[in-house]
Every structure is written in C-alpha cells, then in structure tokens.
C-alpha cells in the first residue's frame, strides 16, 4: 500500500512559504526568550528561577520525548497485520467473518 | 413544564420516534431533541430532584446540583454538535441505527450524571456501554466488529464491578445515595475500579485506543464526548482529594504521549491524546481543592469541545478520503482549507495556547498543584503539557493537511459537518477569550485569572520551544517517520497473550487427555485381545464343533459301548 517511499513524495507546502513561516517562527522564539530577560515574571517553583526555564523545558522535554519514542518504537512496533493471525477456532472465527460476509 | 423533565427522558423518547420519521421531519426532530433538552436543563434549578421508594430504599433517579448541571449543559452541547455532524446520514438502515444509538447513548450519559443513587447510576452505566457499541459496529468492518465486542466486554465488566461495589456499599451503609465514597473498604475500591475502567486508567485503558478509531466517522465523535467524561464526573463526586488519583493522573498524562508520537492512525493518536487529557482531570480530582476540582471539570468541559473538534476534523478526512493513517495522508489543505483551519483551532485549543479554551482550564490544575506543594508532580504535568503540542498540536494537522503531498484531491465534507465543526471551534475560542462564561458554571466559586503576563509569557515560551524541537527534528530529518504499523499496548494481553496462553493450555490439556485416552484404550484393547484369543473364532474355548464330528464320536462311543457288551 505504501510502496511510495518518503523521499519520492514532494512537500505539499511550497518551499518559499515554509521558509517564510519558519523564519517568522524562529524570530518569535528569540523574541520570547529576550522578553524573559526583560520582564520580571512571578516565580512559584524553584526551577522557575532558571533563566528562560520554560523555553529550555519545552525544547529539552520534547527532544527527550521524541528520542524516547524512537526507542519505544523499537520495542513495541509490529507489522500492521500483527493481530490478524488465525483467531481461536470456532469462537471468534464465525463471528468475525459471518456478519460481514 | 420545562425544568421538571428528567433530562434523559427527552433523548429516550426522541430515540423511539426517530425510526418512524424520514427526510426533513427527521432532520427537524434530531435537532429539536438537544435544543429542547438544553432548554429543559437550563431551566432546572439547583436542588431539583425526583425520588421514589423501591423495596425499602429511597432512589433518586434525578438529582440536580452544580456539578451535575455543569455536565448536563456540556452533554447537551456535545449532543447538539455530534447530531449536527451526523445529519447527512439519512439513507441506509444502519444510519437510522446510528441516530437511535447516538441518542440513547447521549441520554444515558445525562441519566448517569443526574443519577442520585447507585442503582440508577448502574442502569445508565450499562446503557452507556450497550448503546455506544452500535456506533462502532455500524462501521461494518471485521476489525470494528471485533473491537466493538472487546469494548462491550470491558464495559460490561466495569458495570458489574460497579454493581458489586454498590451492593457492598448499600449493605454497609443502608443508603444508596451516590455521594462521596473514598477508598475505605471493599465497596470504595470496587466502585473506584469500575470508574477507573471507564476513565481509562493505565492498564485498563486500551479499550479506548482499541475501539474509538474503529468507530464510524460520526460515531467516534459521540464516543469521544460521553463515556470518559461520565467517569470523570463520577470521580469528581465520589473521590475528590483521593491522593492516589494524583499519581494515576500524572501517569495517564505522560505515558500516552510517547505512543502518540509513533502512532500512525491519526484517530488512534487522538485516542492516546484523550487519555493524556483525562490525566489532567484525574490529577485535579486527586488534588481535591476547590480550584483543582474546578479545573478538572472545566477541563472536561473544554476537552469535549476541542477533542470533539479534532475527532470531527479527522472524521471529515475519513469521510472524504476513506483514510486516517498518517502514512496515507498529507497535503489536504489544498482541497479542504476550511476543515484545515478548524482542525488547527482544535489543535491550538488542546495545546492550551492563550486565547483558546484549553489554556483557561489546564492552568487551573497546574496552579492547584503548585498551591498544594506537589513540587514533583508539577514538572511531570508540565512535560505532559508540552507533549500535547507534539501529537495533537502539530502531528494531527501537519500529517493530515500538510507534510508530504499524498496526491489525494478531494472536497470539503458535507455542510452539516462543517457547521458542527464551526460550532465547536467557535466555543473553543469563546471560552478561551471569555473564560468567565465557563467559570460561572463551575461547582465552586472561582477566583482565578488565567490571563496574567507571567502566565501568558511562560506558556508561550513552553509551547513555542516545544514546537521548535519538533521543527528542528523535522529539519534534521531525525523525526520518526510515519510507518504503517501497529504498536503493542496493554490490549496485547487479551488480544495476543491470552489467546496464545489459552491455545497453549488447550494444547497441553489435549495432549494429556489424548495420552490418557490412548493408555486406557490400549489397556482395553489388550484385555480384548486376550479375551479374543480365548473366545474368538479361533479361540480354544470358542471353537465350533461340527455336528458330523459329534455324530462320529457318539457313534464311536456307542460302538465302543456295544463292543464292551460283547466282552
């Protein structure tokens, strides 16, 4: 079904658009960090004293999440038909196919 | 008249009438039910209740207080949206079945949140399961039939557990009223377990990610609104301040986000996302302060809206393209720009961007955690908040509507679907901009202001840099690719391990049984062979003596006798 590899599919968003969007996005990120040094925010948790704590936490947290998920994938990923093996004789068999057919 | 009808009754009567009308009258009736019901529930006063005596117990089929009324309003909104979303279904018999089961399902949810005693709660608890399974079965695929059967079994077990717990409770206290329960004694634990199954607690969660993605495009929108929210409601009533809920909630908020990153089916990704969001609610109930419980139920309210919106947008994609797998989709923004926009509004809401509704309720739970000094749970929930951005904020809209161009060209979904999504998106933004509208309905008085500069700034930093990490991973091409696959989860136990164990045990039993039988039959055969040797056709004892030889011997004997006479 998915004979088409990742590399052969073109990006749906034109490259100059995505460049523009990304540039705006990174500018916003920089701005948010700059504001963190200018504006004195309230602190409720001791970790919040770290400069740009939320930016660091968001970035590192997600980097960890994505890397860990790759590890999880190695552990739990199975082919799509993994659960399709012959069901219990008699019981599940008739039920699954009988109604549909 | 209005304000004194039990809320579920309007839906049940409507469900009875639906099969008898077709065409435009059915359309009108379908829309009239949640509108009339909404007017009724809006008119119901706090303290309204219906009671009667049965077998010496006072049952309260309807009890209205601030908590049940909030869920009453919510479920009418959800029903209106979901019914609007399914209005285009008007041909086949299975469409009628979907409408009827959708209405009974919504009515049962209303019945459950207004139930004042355990017996009524149990009845609606089981009705929820039985009515909703048809929203899965009407998909009519073998996978849907099997997933529906598993779903039904899990929920019936939850109902039976609830009944057992309720019986112990009534036996011990003599009072069937459903109020605070707590984890004291057997009854408390049994009811807790029953609610936990429906709330998708870890290890008993897999019915949700197994069944919801197999439902019909419209059915899953109904499913996402009611079952788990009824459970959250029941937890908020029976177990506020139960500490273990904080840890259960934190775990629920965290583990699904890892699965969500690698899940290929986008509706299943939303299922994981749902468990993650329920984690915030469960955690809030566990903290148990006024702010925390307010936050938990407010988040349940908002979750129905934004999760419904996301399920609707994926349902629209399924309806138009027949697919929901990330590996098959991409580039749909060109042919479905309105759906794309509405989906992004849902994504921004669930990610809790300021000005969207997720922001005004999730922050209440987070603040309550800090207020109560849960300094180690707070970062865990913050991580879970950031994780939402990855799967629901970016993955869902990005892989469906942008990413690699799949080459699929389609159209916007039917108008009723767009209207339903529009209502959802409007409410997401309305509550985000005017949180007071929701805060005014919460069970406890609210003195909370989500929009202060610190909070907005920190939330934006968290979200932007979380997105930044995903962007960097994508640009460096180290983001996990969409691969057609399944990921084993807790349902592996009963879908893979249990059948194998049963087969293995069955095989062993068969082998022992066969050996026994063979030994017995062998012994029997040996005995028979022995008997046969003696008594068989050639056996010494069974030899037949021909009449001729007897006559010969008789004559020999007689001759001998005669001979002896002459001697």
Average pLDDT for residues B41-46, to the nearest whole number? 93
Contact B402, A12 (CB under 8 A): yes
- The DSSP-derived string for B285-340 is HHH-SHHHHHHHHHHHHHHHHHHHHHHHHHHHHHHHHS--BTTT---GGGT-HHHH
Q: Is pLDDT of B557 > 60?
A: yes
B-chain residues near A2 (CB < 8 A): 327-328, 484
Question: Domain-by-domain residue ranges, chain A?
Answer: 11-100
Three-state SS sequence of B431-489: HHHCCHHHHCCCCCCCCCCCCCHHHHHHHHHHHHHHHHHHHHHHHCCCCCCCCCCEECC
Q: What percent of chain B is predicted at pLDDT more than 90?
A: 78
Residue of B142, B379, B461 lying closest to A55 (CB–CB) = B461
CA B314 to centroid of chain Cα atoms:
18
pLDDT for A4-45, tens place per residue? 444 567 888 888 888 999 999 999 999 999 998 888 888 888
- ipTM of the complex, rounded to two decimals: 0.83
Residue of A42, A60, A80 lying closest to B454 (CB–CB) = A42
Q: Do A63 and B469 touch (CB under 8 A)?
A: yes
Q: Compute the half-sphere exposure of residue A94: CA atoms within 13 Å on the CB side of its CA.
A: 2
Q: Do B259 and A52 touch (CB under 8 A)?
A: no
pTM to 2 decimal places: 0.88
Q: Is pLDDT of B73 > 80?
A: yes
pLDDT of residue B197: 96
The residue in chain B having the minimum alpha-carbon distance to the alpha carbon of residue A88 is: B499
- How high is the mean pLDDT of chain B? 92
Q: Is pLDDT of B277 > 60?
A: yes
Q: At what angle do helices A53-76 and B453-475 cross, to 10 degrees?
A: 40
Q: Which residue has the higher pLDDT, B58 or B544?
A: B58
Contact B387, B257 (CB under 8 A): yes
Lowest mean pLDDT among A48-62, B139-153, B178-192, B483-497: B483-497
Q: Distance (Å) from the C-alpha of residue B67 to the closest C-alpha of chain A?
A: 30
pLDDT for B297-330, tens place per residue? 999 999 999 999 999 999 999 999 999 999 999 9
Confidence band (pLDDT; 50, 70, 90) for A85?
A: low
Q: Distance (Å) from the C-alpha of residue A9 to the closest C-alpha of chain B?
A: 6
pLDDT of residue B403: 87
3-state secondary structure of A50: coil
A-chain residues near B466 (CB < 8 A): 58-59, 61-62
Give residues with Cβ within 8 angstroms of B190, minimum separation 6.
Answer: B161, B162, B164, B165, B168
pLDDT for B503-549, tens place per residue? 899 999 999 999 999 999 999 999 998 888 887 777 777 666 777 88
pLDDT of residue A4: 41
Q: Is pLDDT of B253 > 90?
A: yes
Q: Do A58 and B386 touch (CB under 8 A)?
A: yes
Contact B343, B397 (CB under 8 A): yes
Q: Do A65 and B387 touch (CB under 8 A)?
A: yes
């Amino acid at each position: 079904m998915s004979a088409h590899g990742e590399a052969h599919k073109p990006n749906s968003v034109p490259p100059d658009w995505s460049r523009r969007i990304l540039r705006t996005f990174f500018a916003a990120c920089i701005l948010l960090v700059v504001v963190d040094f200018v504006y004195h925010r309230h602190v409720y948790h001791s970790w919040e004293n770290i400069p740009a704590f939320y930016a660091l936490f968001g970035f590192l947290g997600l980097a960890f999440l994505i890397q860990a998920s790759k590890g999880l994938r190695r552990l739990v990923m199975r082919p799509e038909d993994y659960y399709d093996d012959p069901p219990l004789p008699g019981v599940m068999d008739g039920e699954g196919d009988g109604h549909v057919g | 008249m209005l304000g004194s009808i039990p809320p579920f009754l309007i839906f049940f009567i409507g469900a009875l009438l639906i099969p008898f009308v077709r065409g435009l009258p059915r359309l009108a009736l379908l829309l009239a039910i949640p509108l009339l019901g909404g007017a009724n529930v809006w008119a119901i006063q706090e303290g309204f209740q219906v009671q009667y005596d049965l077998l010496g117990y006072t049952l309260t089929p309807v009890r209205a207080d601030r908590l049940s009324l909030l869920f009453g309003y919510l479920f009418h909104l959800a029903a209106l949206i979901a019914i609007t979303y399914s209005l285009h279904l008007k041909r086949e018999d299975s469409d009628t079945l979907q409408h009827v089961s959708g209405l009974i399902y919504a009515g049962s949810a209303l019945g459950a949140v207004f139930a004042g005693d355990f017996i009524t709660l149990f009845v609606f608890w089981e009705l929820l399961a039985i009515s909703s399974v048809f929203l899965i079965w009407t998909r009519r695929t073998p996978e849907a039939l099997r997933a529906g059967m598993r779903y039904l079994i899990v929920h019936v077990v939850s109902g039976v557990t609830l009944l057992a717990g309720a019986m112990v409770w009534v036996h011990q206290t003599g009072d069937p009223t459903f109020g605070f329960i707590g984890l004291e004694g057997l009854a408390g634990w049994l009811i807790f377990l029953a609610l936990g199954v429906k709330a998708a607690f870890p290890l008993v969660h897999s019915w949700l990610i197994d069944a919801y993605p197999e439902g019909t495009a419209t059915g899953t929108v109904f499913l996402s609104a009611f079952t788990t929210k009824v459970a959250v409601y029941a937890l908020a009533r029976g177990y506020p301040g139960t500490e273990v809920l904080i840890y259960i909630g934190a775990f629920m908020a965290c583990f699904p986000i890892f699965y969500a990153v690698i899940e290929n089916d986008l509706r299943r990704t939303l299922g994981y996302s749902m468990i993650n969001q329920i984690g915030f609610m469960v955690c809030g109930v566990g903290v148990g302060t006024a702010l925390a419980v307010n936050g938990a139920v407010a988040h349940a309210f908002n979750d129905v809206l934004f999760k419904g919106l996301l399920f609707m947008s994926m349902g629209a994609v399924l309806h138009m393209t027949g697919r929901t797998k990330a590996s098959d989709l991409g580039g749909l923004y060109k042919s479905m720009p309105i759906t794309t926009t509405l989906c992004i509004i849902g994504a921004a809401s669930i990610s809790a961007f300021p000005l969207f509704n997720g922001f005004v309720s999730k922050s209440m739970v987070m603040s309550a955690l800090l207020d109560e000094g849960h300094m180690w749970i707070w970062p865990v929930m913050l991580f879970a908040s950031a994780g939402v951005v990855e799967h629901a904020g970016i993955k869902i809209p990005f892989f469906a509507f942008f990413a690699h161009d799949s080459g699929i060209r389609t159209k916007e979904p039917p108008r009723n679907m767009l209207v339903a999504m529009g209502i959802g998106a409007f409410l997401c933004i309305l509550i985000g901009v005017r949180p007071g509208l929701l805060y005014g309905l919460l069970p406890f008085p609210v003195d909370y202001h989500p929009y202060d500069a610190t909070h907005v700034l920190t939330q934006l930093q968290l979200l932007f840099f979380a997105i930044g990490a995903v962007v960097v991973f994508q640009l460096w091409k180290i983001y996990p690719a969409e691969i057609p696959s399944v990921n084993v989860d807790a349902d592996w136990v009963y879908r893979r391990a249990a059948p194998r164990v049963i087969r293995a045990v069955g095989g062993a039993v068969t082998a022992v049984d066969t050996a026994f039988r063979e030994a017995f039959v062998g012994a029997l055969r040996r005995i028979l062979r022995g008997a046969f040797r003696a008594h068989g056709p050639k056996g010494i004892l069974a030899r037949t003596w021909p009449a001729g030889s007897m006559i010969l011997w008789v004559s020999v004997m007689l001759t001998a006798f005669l001979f002896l006479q002459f001697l």
